[in-house]
Amino acid sequence: MAPPHPPHPRTLFDKVWKSHVVEPEAPDRPALIHVDLHLVHEVTSPQAFSELNARGLEVRRPDLTIATIDHSTPTLAAGPDGRRPYVTARAEAQVAALRGNCARHGIELFDWESPNRGVVHVIGPEQGLTWPGMVVVCGDSHTSTHGAFGALAFGIGTSEVGHVLATQCLFQRRPRTLRLRIDGRLPPGVGAKDLALAVVSTLGFSGGTGHVIEYAGEAVRGLGMEGRMTLCNMSIEAGARAGMVAPDETAVDYLRGRPRAPVGDAFDRAAERWLALAGDDGAAFDGEISLDASALVPMATWGSSPDQASAVDAAIPTPGTATARRALDYMRLEPGKPLIGTPVDVVFVGSCTNGRISDLRAAAAILRDRRIDPRVRMLVAPGSEAVRREAEAEGLHEIFLAAGAEWRLPGCSMCIAMNGDQVRPGKLAVSTSNRNFEGRQGPGARTILASPATAAASAVAGAVADPRTYAVASHAG
C-alpha cells in the first residue's frame, strides 16, 4: 500500500527553518540561523553600527543588506533651498548617521534620491528582494509582512541587528507552529485588513506568542500578494513571531520581472524551488484554528490594542475587563452606542499595512467625485516611491487632492508619528496602520484601525462609516 504522504511530512516553516540552520539548537544555546536578507532603517540601527565600529568589525555581507530611510523622514517636500523639513535636528542626524554607516560599510541605501526609497516592508517585496524560502530580518516588528511570500520573516532588536551585520547569523529558538485556516470567500467590500483585524481579535493580543502562523485556506489563496502582505503584517499584533503563506502561482507571478528577482532560466528554476516549499500533506502543527471568511464584515478597533476590534457596524461593547474599561475611557467611547457616527478628526491612509497601490485604489474608489468632510484632515502617504509613481500615473493623487486630502511623500508618517506627522491630543483618527496603542499617533491621540475603504468612507462622512454604504467595486487586494 502506498503511503498517503511523504514519510516525514514537513510544514512550510519546517522546510525554510531547516535549510537555514547553521548549527542546531543545543541544551545551552539556541540554533544558529543564517539570514538571506537584512533590511535596515535609520531608527533601530545606529547603536548596532556603533557597536561594530567600536569593536572594529566590518559588516560581513553588505551584499545581503539593504537600507532605507522611512521612519523619521518628513513626508513634506524639500523647501526651495533644498532643505528637508525634518521634525528635529536629531531626526536629521539619525538619517545622516545611517548614510555614513552605509557608506563606510558598503551597504546599498535607498536614500532621498533613490527611486526605490520607501517603507522598509513595502520596498522589499516590490523590488523583488524578498523571495519565497528566505529568512528575512529587520529591526522592526512588522517584518512579518514578508511572510506573504513564504519567507520566514521576523523583527529583531538592535543588538541582534548588530549580530546580523557582523555575522549574517542570529541565535533563534525554534518557534511553535500554528495553522490558521481561513475558509470561504471574503464578501464584497471586505478586504485583507478586515481579515487581519478579525484574526487578531480572534487570537487575542498575545494568542500567537511563541508561534509562527501559517495562513491557509481558500480565502488566503484568493488574496493577491498585497492582501497577503497586509494579513502577514499584523501577525505580530497577536504576538506571533511571524506569519507565512505557502508560495503559489500568485507569488511567482508577482515576483516575475521585479528588479531584484532572478531572470530568465534562473527565474524558472527558482520558481520550481519556491513552489516545492508548500507544506506536505499531513504535516503536523502545534496548533490549528479555523475561521470562516464568508461571514466577515468590515472591521474597526474600538480600544487601544489591535485585538480590541469588532464589526464596524456593531455597538461599542460593554467592557468585561479592567483592560477594556481603561481602553474605552482612553478612547472616550460610550459602551452600547454605535461606533458608526462617532465624529472623526483625522484620517490616515498609508503604512506597511495598507500603503500599497491596491490600498490607495480602494481609498480612491470611495473618494472619486466626493469631498471629505471639511472638519477632517486626511493624509495619504504612499508606501514607497514606486507606489507613488504608480498612483500618480493612474491619477489617484488627483482624486485625493480633489477630495481635500493631502498627498504626501512616502514614509511611515502617522503610523508611528515620529516624523512630525501627528494626531493632536484628544483627536480621533481612523487609520489604516497597525497599532492603536495609547499615544501611538501622538500624545493623547485616539486611534481606530480600519481598512483603506473604511478610512476613506469615514473621511467623507466626517464620522466612522461603513464603506459598504458607499457603492464601489469589491476590494479583495
Interacting residue ranges for another protein, rule: CB under 8 A: 22-23, 27-30, 32, 34, 43-44, 46-47, 50-51, 53-55, 57, 71-72, 88, 90-91, 93-94, 96-97, 100, 139-141, 155-160, 162-163, 166-171, 173, 205-206, 209-210, 239, 241, 305, 321-323, 326, 416-418, 425, 435, 437-440, 443-444
Cβ neighbours for 97, distance < 8 A, ≥ 6 positions apart: 42, 46, 49
CB of 379 to ligand SF4, least distance (A): 13
Q: Amino acid identity of 242?
A: A
DSSP SS3 for 65? strand
For residue 199, give Cα distances in angstroms to 215, 307, 465.
10, 8, 21
Is residue 140 within the footprint of ligand SF4 (CB under 6 A)? yes
The answer to whether residues 379 and 422 touch, using CB atoms and an 8 Å cutoff, is no
Q: How many CA atoms are closer than 13 Å to the CA of 415, on its beta-carbon side?
A: 27
CA dist 32 and 214 (Å) reads: 22
Rounded to a whole number of angstroms, the CA Rg of the chain reads 22
Tell me if 391 sits within 8 A of 381, measured CB to CB. Answer: no
Check residue 434 for interaction with ligand SF4 (CB under 6 A).
yes
The contact mask relative to ligand SF4 for 42-81 (x = CB under 6 A, - = no) is ----------------------------xx----------
Cell of 89: 535636528
**Least gap, CB of 348 to another protein (angstroms):** 15
- Pick one of 170, 216, 312, 415: the residue that binds ligand SF4 (CB under 6 A): 415
Q: Smaller CB distance to ligand SF4: residue 14 or 70? A: 70
What cell numbers appear for 144 in the block?
512579518
The count of chain residues that interact with ligand SF4, using the rule CB under 6 A, is: 14
Q: How far is the CB of 87 from another protein (least distance, A)?
A: 8
Query: Least separation, in Å, of the C-beta of 288 and another protein?
Result: 21
Question: 3 or 27: whose CB is closer to another protein?
Answer: 27
Cα 221 to Cα 245: distance, rounded to the nearest angstrom: 9
Of 29 and 332, CB closest to another protein: 29
Q: Which of 142, 397, 440, 446 binds ligand SF4 (CB under 6 A)?
A: 142
Q: State the amino acid at position 276 in one-letter form.
A: A
CB 199 to another protein: min, Å:
16
Among 19-27, 116-124, 160-168, 301-309, which window interacts with ligand SF4 (CB under 6 A)?
Answer: 116-124
Give the C-alpha separation, 343 to 375, whole Å. Answer: 9
237 near ligand SF4, rule: CB under 6 A:
no
- Are the C-beta atoms of 386 and 356 separated by less than 8 Å? no
Write the interaction track for ligand SF4 spanning residues 337-356; mark x where CB under 6 A is met and - where it is not. --------------xx----
Report the candidate in 397, 449, 440, 398 with the shortest Cα–Cα distance to residue 421: 440
Identify which range of 119-127, 223-231, 307-315, 341-349 contacts ligand SF4 by CB under 6 A: 119-127
CB of 260 to another protein, least distance (A): 18
The DSSP output letter for 142 is G
Grid cell locating 146: 514578508
Q: What cell numbers appear for 162 in the block?
A: 548588530
Q: Is 357 helix (H, G, I), strand (E, B) or coil?
A: helix
Site for ligand SF4, rule CB under 6 A: 70-71, 119-121, 140, 142, 351-352, 412, 415-416, 433-434
